[in-house]
């Protein structure tokens, strides 16, 4: 009985010593350290931020494409007006 109690106490001491420097995540058997979990979470945050930046850039490109189309339409209209004025100038001259 005394030997059994001592053995249990020794096993408990060994277990406590082994798990003292281990995060709770490692103790649950997943094999993922707290640092690894933090790094994975930071990587996910960075990926989400990158995706938001990419979406913002796509929106900006779409806006610029629309502005380019508007500018092209205005340029075409201006060219028509210049042609009409040239025709009128030739006819009246």
Domain definitions of the chain by residue range: 49-93
- The per-residue pLDDT for 62 is 95
Q: What is the pLDDT of residues 19-62, one digit of tens each?
A: 666 555 555 555 667 778 788 899 999 999 999 999 999 999 99
- The per-residue pLDDT for 36 is 81
Tokens in use for 18? 């082994």
Mean pLDDT score of the chain: 85
**What mean pLDDT comes out for the span 4-12?**
85
Q: Global pTM?
A: 0.51
- The per-residue pLDDT for 32 is 66
Is the sign of the CA dihedral 46, 50, 51, 52 positive or negative?
positive
């Amino acid at each position: 009985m005394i030997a059994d109690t001592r053995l249990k106490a020794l096993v408990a001491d060994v277990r406590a010593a082994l798990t003292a420097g281990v995060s709770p995540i490692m103790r649950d058997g997943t094999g993922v350290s707290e640092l690894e979990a933090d790094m994975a979470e930071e990587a996910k945050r960075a990926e989400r931020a990158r995706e938001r930046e990419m979406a913002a850039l796509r929106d900006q490109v779409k806006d610029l494409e629309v502005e380019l189309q508007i500018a092209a339409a205005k340029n075409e209209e201006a060219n028509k007006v210049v042609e009409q004025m040239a025709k009128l100038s030739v006819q009246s001259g």
